[in-house]
Amino acid sequence: MLMDAPVTTMLPVKDLERARRFYEGSLGLRPGELKPDGKFTYDCGGTTLALFPKEGGTKADHTAVSFRVPDIAASIAELKQAGVVFENYDFPGLKTVEHVCVLGAEKAAWFLDTEGNILCLHQDLG
């Protein structure tokens, strides 16, 4: 029933202007539009990313958005030059090496936005 329905990912932000500076300046997303309800949207590879003001911000402790990239090492290098700080993890079953972890059929690397949302880059290996 929803197979052909466009998807919008909703991310809570404490400070919309600060978040926009990060998403546009650091991640390179092209500005979309401010909606009447206060959301700000971006078109991302055929989907929509919407930032919405929320006083408490996010409470999620999991990946909120993952961007599929063709070359994770090159994407990490480019984003680091734009000021993005990548996380490093060393947990049982999840260890990053130079910010990257191999998970089955993909490589992944995580970073936080200015609002505490956990974002990810992933590269398919297959």
Query: Which is nearest to 123 in space by CA: 62, 55, 54, 69?
Result: 69
Answer yes or no: is pLDDT of 58 > 90: no
pTM higher than 0.85: yes
Q: Which residues of 13-35 are buried (b: 16+ CB within 10 A; e: fewer)?
A: beebeebbebbeebbebeebeee
Answer yes or no: is pLDDT of 116 > 90: yes
Compute the distance between CA of residue 63 and CA of residue 119 in angstroms, rounded to an integer: 6
Task: For residues 21-37, give the mean pLDDT.
Answer: 96
pLDDT band at 59 (very low <50, low <70, confident <90, very high): confident
Q: pLDDT at position 1, please?
A: 87
Quick one: CA dihedral 63, 86, 81, 116, positive or negative? Answer: positive
